[in-house]
Amino acid sequence: AQSVTQLDSQVPVFEEAPVELRCNYSSSVSVYLFWYVQYPNQGLQLLLKYLSGSTLVKGINGFEAEFNKSQTSFHLRKPSVHISDTAEYFCAVSDGDNAGNMLTFGGGTRLMVKP
Amino acid sequence: DAGITQSPRHKVTETGTPVTLRCHQTENHRYMYWYRQDPGHGLRLIHYSYGVKDTDKGEVSDGYSVSRSKTEDFLLTLESATSSQTSVYFCAISPQLAAEEFFGPGTRLTVL
């Protein structure tokens, strides 16, 4: 079974600064990778996903993530954050080798953007 | 937003009482899931369904049961609620294998 580690539970950052949220997963031959965002008192919505192809994936709201197979990582980045990016971010992985698309989620990283 | 609703949105109940949460979708997606969200644990899968009357257990299924009698509805039942089941419960749907999941707005359950 997959496991997902989000190394930082909270990331404070000033507005307009760059940010990287880290995600590592347990090794597998084939994985599908996702980043979700959760704004306060809301459900999760998809930021971006990697299924195959280019290892650099661009998502909504200016976010991007890079799949690094050798390091089993899928870190999320944004070059300049806004106050409105304050939210909790979840990395999720599904095992592409097995039938079924159940996702395994990391524990989440709370991004706090300060003015 | 994908057409997913959850009811109720908030519920307070007492230990030992039965509770049923409802997830309703209008997308005709095959797969439906129930998760619980707790601080530091992210989302953990309770049960999922891959079709009408086809369900299976997830990571944290003890104390929960589910039913899916129609494509659009997926019910989560706590037969006898305990304080450890205080959590936020999310329903999700997906159309196919390895597809992204679409989440409902969540139900905040408090068991006193």
Q: Is A84 helix (H, G, I), strand (E, B) or coil?
A: helix
Q: Is any Cβ of chain A less than 8 angstroms from the Cβ of B107? A: no
N-to-C CA span, chain B = 33
- Average predicted confidence (pLDDT) for chain B: 93
- pLDDT, one tens digit per residue, over B51-72 is 999 999 998 999 999 999 999 9
The residues pairing with A24 across neighbouring beta strands, listed in sequence order, are A5, A73
CA distance A81 to A48: 17
A39-53 confidence digits (pLDDT tens): 988 899 999 999 888
Check if A94 contacts B (Cβ < 8 Å).
yes
Query: Is the pLDDT reported for residue A28 higher than 80?
Result: no
Look at residue B100 in the predicted model and tell me its pLDDT: 82
At B24 the three-state DSSP class reads strand
Q: Which residues of B touch A49 (CB under 8 A)?
A: 100
pLDDT band at A2 (very low <50, low <70, confident <90, very high): confident
Least confident residue range of A18-22, A31-35, B6-10: A31-35
Q: Do A105 and B43 touch (CB under 8 A)?
A: yes
**Secondary structure of residue B15 in the 3-state scheme:** coil
Q: What are A51-88's pLDDT values in tens digits?
A: 888 899 999 999 999 999 999 999 999 999 999 999 99
Distance CA A66, CA A54 (A): 9
What's the rounded Cα separation, in Å, for the pair A50 and B100?
10
Cβ-nearest to A99 among B97, B99, B106: B97
Say how far apart CA A4 and CA A92 lie, in whole Å.
7
Q: Is the pLDDT of residue B12 over 80?
A: yes
Answer whether B42 touches A (CB < 8 Å).
Answer: yes
Question: Given a cut of 70, is residue B1 above it in pLDDT?
Answer: no
Mean pLDDT of chain A: 91
Reported confidence tier of residue A97, pLDDT bands at 50, 70, 90: low
- Longest distance between any two alpha carbons in chain B, whole Å: 38
Distance (Å, whole) CA B29 – CA A78: 32
